[in-house]
Amino acid sequence: MEFENRYRQVSKYDCLLFDLDDTLYPLSSGLATACANNIRDYMAEKLGIDQRKILELSNLLYKNYGTTMAGLRAIGYNFDYDDYHSFVHGRLPYENLKPDPVLRSLLLSLPIRKVIFTNADKVHAAKVLRILGLEDCFEGIICFETLNPTYKSAASDGEDDIQFTGPRSSSNMTKCKTEIFDIVHHISQPNDLGSVLPKSPIVCKPSEHAIEKALKISNINPQKTLFFEDSIRNIHAGKRVGLNTVQVGTCQRTKGADYALESIHNIREALPELWTTSTIASESGSYGKVAVETSVTA
């Protein structure tokens, strides 16, 4: 008993931060391709953008703002966030996803906090986790609504009242074409040093601010966290804020990634230390709480 009071078991990592799409399930599912097509359809049908310009525009927005949605808002398009997510994700081929009992067993066997961090909305995240059979494997979900709580005043900078999983967006914005910033022209004029890209009101990866905000909301120490991502630019951003990084979807470790997994199923082979702990002396003689308690409502 004296040993138990004086020592506690600790791991090198105290949190595993997982991206969702194309990380917890393979790119071959086809959801990413379908999502890109749905975004372009939304741009044409809902925002009235010329079909001939959509491909180049969406690629530029994704490259410069992290998501096409964030880019559309930045250059002047106004639309309802829920409507956008419903259109873009509501038509996805979710039937291509199947329950993953192997991954579920792996996740449940890990004695470490596990948190989802996705740019997607809460409805999509919950649906994907439910289909995969992983809905009870994570402590919390950092999603679009978490980082973009539209119920808060735009003039407010306070974040202390933001809930971990965040409420569902209730934006009252409606589609409204104002003056649109011509990003295609802007990018084609590299010598125009006096002009800068407009900022987006949407917070999302790979913005370092988005990652830092997610870490603060969920009380995560980046130095003791492994960040699992399929996107190399998100990996780079995570590395810049101090996260330990795991690139998923390739066996070739690229610059910025500490580890590489061809599949999330390879996690035990690549990182066996996650299942082991080391014993250290505890001055207080108390185990205490390793993580804050949070609820998952998604």
**pLDDT tens by residue, 125-164:** 999 999 999 999 999 999 999 999 974 433 333 333 334 4
Average pLDDT of the residues in 287-298: 30
* pLDDT in the model for residue 191: 66
The tokens describing 188, both together, are 């084609």
pLDDT digits (tens, 9 = 90+) for 115-124: 999 999 999 9
Q: Look up the pTM and report it.
A: 0.82
> From the CB of residue 206, how many other CB atoms can be counted at a distance below 10 Å?
20
| pLDDT tier, 114 (very low <50, low <70, confident <90, very high otherwise) | very high
Helix (H) or strand (E) holding 238: helix 232-240
pLDDT at 104: 98
Query: CA 13, 137, 210, 121: dihedral to nearest 10 degrees?
Result: 170
Mean pLDDT score of the chain: 84
Q: Mean pLDDT across the stretch 212-216?
A: 98
Q: Model confidence over 102-113: pLDDT tens digits?
A: 999 999 999 999
How far apart (Å, rounded) are the C-alpha atoms in residues 244 and 168? 30
Residue whose C-alpha is closest to residue 209's, from 56, 217, 106, 24 = 217
From the DSSP assignment, how many helices (H) and strands (E) are in the chain?
A: 12, 10
Dihedral angle over CA of 262, 263, 268, 269, nearest 10: -30
Residue 162: its pLDDT value, please?
A: 35
pLDDT band at 276 (very low <50, low <70, confident <90, very high): confident
Instruction: Check residues 195 and 259 and name the one with the higher pLDDT.
Output: 259
Lowest mean pLDDT among 7-11, 224-228, 283-287: 283-287
Half-sphere exposure at residue 103, Cβ-oriented, CA atoms within 13 angstroms:
21
